[in-house]
Amino acid sequence: MLEINKEIKLVRAVGLTIRHCNIFLKRHIFKEKLYWKNKTFALDLPFPFVTEKSDFSDVEYFNDMKSLKLNTIIHFKQILMDHLVGVARNSKELGGNDILCKCCLFHSIYGTQGFPRIVVGLDCREHIQKIIGKEAELLVYLFCTSDRRQLYIEGNNILKKNEFLLKNFYTKEEVLVSHTIFLYLYSILILDDIDHYKYSVKNRQSLIDIINNIKVN
């Protein structure tokens, strides 16, 4: 796996520093408090990767994504919808199951620490649940509100622990989640980075190696 200091550099390379993102979010964007009111997140999830080829198709979600105007929003140097589709296709290519692919396709829908923009407000969570299912939506919600640095830190222990600490980057709340839930969140994080580094063969391969390491262990 990549060392933590290298992983943090990956985050900073794709946009604002985490510190600047936090300042920007608090001053300009989040009118909603992203509190984890229920401090236990229990999901009965399968392992996020499958051995057989996934039949997931991002095309069937295009109308829903366009209705949310994801094809009109700039995400760093590309259209947000193109980035979301790219992350979902990375997931499928590397053996992600249907739930993981859906998560990747909507992974930043509520805005994230690294992408400080609310695309869809939390009042639309039920609508997103209808599109991708309750399990995938809850994982997306956790991913959007989780502290990125903490995800990278916990990811270094992914083969050593059964429970993992998440931190809410906005409210500073903390919660322990199961190994399986964390596998999904960490996989989304790395698959997201793979898309950002699609033109860097060395960095992309290092990230793919992390996913392959998860799959075999």
Question: Can you tell me the distance from the alpha carbon of 112 to that of 73, in angstroms, rounded to the nearest whole number?
Answer: 15
Segment 151-195, tens digit of pLDDT: 999 999 988 889 999 999 888 899 999 999 999 999 999 999 999
The dihedrals phi and psi of 95, each to the nearest 5 degrees, come to 95, 15
Model pTM score: 0.84
* Higher-pLDDT residue of 116, 30: 116
Please answer whether residues 168 and 147 qualify as being in contact, where contact means their C-beta atoms are separated by less than 8 angstroms.
yes
* Contact partners, residue 72, CB within 8 Å, separation at least 6: 79
Segment 186-207, tens digit of pLDDT: 999 999 999 988 888 889 999 9
Question: Can you tell me the distance from the alpha carbon of 210 to that of 201, in angstroms, rounded to the nearest whole number?
Answer: 14
Domain limits at 182? 4-43+54-216
The CA distances from residue 53 to 61, 115, 145, in Å, are 19, 31, 31
Question: Can you tell me the distance from the alpha carbon of 75 to that of 147, in angstroms, rounded to the nearest whole number?
Answer: 19
Q: Is residue 138 part of a domain?
A: yes
Q: Is residue 48 part of a domain?
A: no
Question: Can you tell me the distance from the alpha carbon of 78 to that of 99, in angstroms, rounded to the nearest whole number?
Answer: 25
pLDDT higher than 90, residue 5? no
Q: Is residue 49 part of a domain?
A: no
pLDDT higher than 90, residue 18? no
Number of domains in the chain: 1
Q: Is residue 21 part of a domain?
A: yes
